[in-house]
Homo-oligomer: A and B are copies of this chain.
Amino acid sequence: MRDTRIRLCLDQPLGAGQSVLLAEAQAHYLFGVMRLTEGARLLVFNGCDGEWLAEVSEARRKRGALTCLEQVRSQQMPPDLWLIFAPVKKARTDVIVEKAVELGAARLMPVLTDYTNSERFRRDKAEAHVREAAEQCGALWLPQVEDAQPLSRLLQGWPEGRTLFWADESRAGARDSFASAPDGPAGILIGPEGGFSPAERGRLTELPFVHPVSLGPRILRAETAAIAALTLWQATHGDWR
């Protein structure tokens, strides 16, 4: 029986007839937790070769193998959107990462801002979250997770032709909207709790590629702002249209 409820993210190339060896944790999940046996079918993807129907060809306690049967979806690329966010408390940063995968972003870029409460950002943990979220939501790609960098450095090296949507807390009720910017490569910038410093605000206001947007009259938590901004971008410029 084709059990499409199980969807596994792998690190190896996928192709017709391709055999894939499982890591110990994957074997434990499939055979120990999900109780799959030889011959069982599941979906696999690796972020670049599309989605494949695969069959369990070997099921041991700590190892196993799958065989790719047929491609069921061809590879899709994420919308060309970067989510730039100041790390907040761990649980809320986890939410930002999970939701960015569900809603759709190509890169997750943590930045250190003047008011960032300097919570450490664990790139490896975020990458694990990205894989889990992608398995769950049906995404075929994995957003690239970057190490945290200062906001000023990111702005300095900002690429030409990419719009930076700045969720500006002080713009409550302003008329700037996502729809009023042109389509094309984009980034979304979400501040930490407490927003941006006057110096940062001055800088952002001056930069020609920055497009300030309002997220309504109430104070949104950082992860709410990230989800709301991703949603509005997807609905106006992304793959929800």
Contact = CB atoms under 8 A, between A and B. Distances in A.
Contacts of A231: 227-228, 231-232
Interface string A138-181: 11000000000000000000000000000000000000010000
Given A216-B104, A231-B231, A231-B232, A136 B240 contact: no
B224 A240 contact: no
Contact of A216 (B95, B216, B227, B240): B240
B136 A224 contact: no
A215 interface: yes
Contacts of A234: 216
A217 interface: yes
Nearest to A227: B227
Interface residues of A, number: 29
Contacts of A221: 98, 102, 136-137
A119 interface: no
Contact of A103 (B102, B216, B240): B216
Contacts of A104: 216, 218
Contacts of A177: 235
A239 interface: yes
B224 A138 contact: no
Contacts of A232: 231-232, 235
Contacts of A235: 177, 232
Given A139-B218, A232-B232, 12 more contacts: A102-B220, A102-B224, A136-B219, A137-B221, A138-B218, A214-B240, A215-B240, A216-B239, A227-B227, A227-B231, A231-B231, A231-B232
Closest 10 CB pairs of A and B: A216-B240, A228-B231, A231-B231, A137-B218, A227-B227, A138-B219, A137-B219, A102-B224, A102-B220, A138-B218
